[in-house]
Structure 1
Amino acid sequence: MDSFDSIPDPIVIDILNKVSDVKTLIRCRLISKRFNSLSTQSDSLLLQLDQILGATVTTDSDSPISNFFKSIFKSIHCLLPPIFSKSIDPSQILTRSPKTPAQILSKFERIRNLEVELYGGDVKLEKGAAVKWKAQFGETLKTCVIVAYRSATVNTTTETVTETTTETDSEFVCGLKTRVVWTISALMAASTRHYLMKDLVKEHKEMEKLTVYDRDGEGTVVMNAIGMKEYRETAAREMAREIEKGVVERVAKERTVVPSVRMSMRHAPSLKLKSGICLEAATLVVVRPSGGGVVSDDDNDVELATEAFAGDGGDCMYGEAVTALLKRRRNVLEMNSF
């Protein structure tokens, strides 16, 4: 007898949880009947969605959201293992492959913690600019923290963080437009990722945490158990209302609607960090749904921003920038739902 057969199922499942990669676990199902059964019982999973090499290049006229969905849906077939020993026409693989993450994971029965890695970021910015964001969702957006800058240069001197220069009115207005565009782009990217996971959240009711991020480290969407339960209950109520009204056709959507929000925005025309990096037009935005009474959010801003970039501690550029920008003057803006 193969000595591996004597290992108890719980230990094998624990090993498979350490593997986590969905692509590998799907291939494990082909090894034997036992592996076919146990692989789908893993509760900690990593689903990587890779872009197809040689895929059709998108044109400049395509919107970032459209490009995002096209690349995602075209890439999912790469996750599927070869099922038959004989060669298969690639066009047949594309037609047979699932079109959503929910379909890829339909055979996994006990998902508790799921990480979804996308092929790359989807916020299109001018050359040299960068944006990093983290959004918390339930049925809709709960919070979003955004850090962005127009350009970064490295200086040889090592001085403490300094706040330099003042802006003219025209420079402030021009910079404000850019910062609002960055914020809207990040919110659209976050709401698109949230919507992409809707079927997955509905079907896997035991899931406790869902994290969606991209390989470039641009943005992260997080849903906890409470947020996912809230999302399912809201979706069920909406479905019931539609059935009650006799609504048959649904309006096609590409993303979750962003609610009316209140934005706490801090910025520095030029921000020099202790590491010697100088960030031009450095910006920190903390976004929350508007409503509820007028309350000072200064302390809450610190908590949210620090928590969002807790993994990017003081030695990291983003963590250091957040700490410095939290000391700047706060501008509060309201934005309608979109």
Structure 2
Amino acid sequence: MSYHSPHFNTSEKFPNTDPMSSMEEDCFDRLPDALLLVIFNKVGDAKSLTRCISVSKRFASLVFEADTVFLSIPPRKHNPKADSRSLRRNLFKILISTLIAKPLHFFHRLIADRSDTDRKTVSFYSPKEVLKHFQQAKTMHMELPSDGSMTGLEGNDSLIKWKARFGSEIKNFVILCATSFQKRMQPLSSDDFSENNGEVLTDGQMKLQIARTIYCLLAASARHYLMKQVLEEHHALENIIASDVCKQGRVCMGKDEVAEIRNSMKSMVASTDSSLERTRVPDLSMKLWYVPVLELPENGYIMRGATLAVLQPNDDGQIGNGSKSDLFGFDGEECEKKAFNEAMREMVKMKKSYLMTMDSF
């Protein structure tokens, strides 16, 4: 018997299984630029995108072409001599001491004090430096530090949520408030429902609601002023939102509103009061609904002292002629947002409401 040793073809090439050589290949190099931009748009956060510049020259050349940008703006460190908390306490003292006796004087004082504060201190860093390189951005969301000083006025469970839409000036404003907003732990009793029979807003409650509304309108107009500054430097923007970290309120401008404000800025003359760092609020009409106890069975919440107010400029006709979607879209956790929408649907069905007007400021 003859034995033949196996024959190996030494010329045959085997695949390279060296792990070090495979690690040297950058997987991102295989991705086209368009797909990288999709990834950058999903990242969105301006600070994270800026850090990507140091990854590679290719990243650095593409990262500022992202068309969706989110920026969380940090608060400034306060000067101890002008601590914002003491300013808020002083504001509340004015609120409590003069709200009932001198409401008109209070509103004037509230607006004057807030304007003085805006001129003396800016509570957050300007976003211009971070955003100046994102010239291709079409959608931008700025998140500002929260000034939630009105929220806890009536306890930790109290609620204030608002939403404003602006063009060159305010289009509509919606504010939802409650002295208590809690998960329902047990069914309501007949005594709870009896509170809704014949109950109306007292003068004190009405004045407090107006004070809340003015306070939030001031916050909205200040954010709109900041958004106009951003629009002056970012000509590709089509949608812009300014909200706060506590998700209390937001200002929105869509494509049509951005186009409107750009046209108005072209023909805009210099303001007679350049120190007023907010957009002037025009004469407004307001429609308000009030429910002492509002049960939300779909989402399992209960609101006490619930008020819903819808405002729009006087010359826009009857309140509520706009899109129904303008009533919805408050910030918050998903379950809370559904509860807010349910509350608004139930409250606008009510026949009893209050109509009033508010002078410009």
Common fold, TM-score beyond 0.5? yes
Confirm or deny that 1:304 pairs with 2:329. no
Query: Could you tell me which amino acid in structure 2 is paired with residue 335 of structure 1?
Result: M
d(CA) in 1 for partners of 2:197, 2:168: 41
Confirm or deny that 1:327 pairs with 2:346. no
Equivalent position of 1:8 in the other structure: 32
- Would the aligned equivalents of 1:123 and 1:189 in 2 still touch at CA under 8 Å? no
Equivalent position of 1:210 in the other structure: 240
Instruction: Choose which of 120, 129, 132 in structure 2 pairs with 1:106.
Output: 132
Equivalent position of 2:256 in the other structure: 226
d(CA) in 2 for partners of 1:271, 1:149: 10
d(CA) in 2 for partners of 1:232, 1:213: 21
5+ residue gaps, structure 2, are: 1-23, 89-112
Equivalent position of 1:39 in the other structure: 63
Judged with a 3 Å threshold, the aligned counterparts in structure 2 of structure 1 residues 54 and 291 are, in CA distance, closer, same or farther, namely: closer
Give the secondary structure class of the aligned counterpart of 1:271. Answer: strand
Aligned residues: 302
Query: Could you tell me which amino acid in structure 2 is paired with residue 320 of structure 1?
Result: E
Equivalent position of 1:287 in the other structure: 311
Query: Could you tell me which amino acid in structure 1 is paired with residue 174 of structure 2?
Result: V
More displaced stretch, 313-322 vs 182-191? 313-322
Q: Deviations over 1:222-278 (max 9, x none)?
A: 00121112112212212xx44xxxx9x962122111111111111112323325543
- Normalised by the length of structure 2, the TM-score is 0.73
Equivalent position of 1:258 in the other structure: 281
Equivalent position of 1:27 in the other structure: 51
Equivalent position of 1:85 in the other structure: none
d(CA) in 1 for partners of 2:218, 2:174: 13
Query: Could you tell me which amino acid in structure 2 is paired with residue 209 of structure 1?
Result: N
Query: Could you tell me which amino acid in structure 2 is paired with residue 39 of structure 1?
Result: V
Equivalent position of 2:227 in the other structure: 197
d(CA) in 2 for partners of 1:67, 1:154: 37
Larger radius of gyration between Structure 1 and Structure 2? 2
Give the secondary structure class of the aligned counterpart of 2:224. Answer: helix
Instruction: Choose which of 60, 70, 75 in structure 1 pairs with 2:122.
Output: 70
Instruction: Choose which of 154, 158, 179 in structure 2 pairs with 1:150.
Output: 179
- Normalised by the length of structure 1, the TM-score is 0.78
Q: Deviations over 1:8-48 (max 9, x none)?
A: 22222221111111001111112332222211111111111
5+ residue gaps, structure 1, are: 74-99
Aligned alpha-carbon RMSD (Å): 3.2
Judged with a 3 Å threshold, the aligned counterparts in structure 2 of structure 1 residues 312 and 187 are, in CA distance, closer, same or farther, namely: farther
Query: Could you tell me which amino acid in structure 2 is paired with residue 150 of structure 1?
Result: T
- Would the aligned equivalents of 2:247 and 2:332 in 1 still touch at CA under 8 Å? no
d(CA) in 2 for partners of 1:150, 1:266: 14
Confirm or deny that 1:337 pairs with 2:339. no
- Counting aligned pairs with the same residue, the percent is 27
